[in-house]
Amino acid sequence: LHLGRPEPRKNLPFLIRVHQRALAADPDIPTLVLAGPGLARDRLPPTLLQALAEGDRRIHLLDDPADADLPSLLAGATALLFPSQLEGFGMPALEALAAGIPMLVPRGSAQADVAGSAGLDLPLDQPEAWVRAMTALHQSPALHARLSEEARLRSRHFSPEGAARALLDAWLETCA
């Protein structure tokens, strides 16, 4: 599952290519679901249309899903795939943690910081590392279960109470 808009920085053509390679390595790899605003085929950027045309096997586009649909999308996901080249904190990663969903994220990214031990941080210049990670998550229930548990534990670090405490502590430190 990927949650987000089809902006160039989201690196969706890369994600489509590695998913197609993972399918070639293991035909039972789950369908890639791209969900977010702007994912109607008639509004897609040309680079994304080209990537879809080159490997349109088991890819599902879900344009602008309702907020109420997010829990079921996450519950059905094997992992949140987030190969963004430039990203801030990002709600999709936080939502994946809360749902106990492992993540594949770029090494050194803000998403890797959010994912912590619940994610596999992978170099964007090594697509085969992403293919191996997708395959491993699919083929190893033990790895998937370990990362899912890590996600649930990690989500506790991002509670509203924890955010309020951190903000208050920062203010108190600044005022001291």
For 96-143, write each residue's pLDDT tens digit: 999 999 999 999 998 999 999 999 999 999 999 999 999 999 999 999
Mean pLDDT score, 30-59: 88
Distance CA 100, CA 10 (A): 22
Structural contact between residues 11 and 49, judged by C-beta atoms closer than 8 angstroms? no
Mean pLDDT score, 27-50: 92
Tokens of 58: 């088991």
Neighbours of 98 (CB within 10 A): 17
Structural contact between residues 103 and 115, judged by C-beta atoms closer than 8 angstroms? yes
pTM: 0.87
Check residues 161 and 38 and name the one with the higher pLDDT. Answer: 38
The secondary structure of 67-112 as a DSSP string is: GGGHHHHHHT-S-EE---SS--S-HHHHHHHHHT--EEEETTSHHH
For 69-79, write each residue's pLDDT tens digit: 999 999 999 99
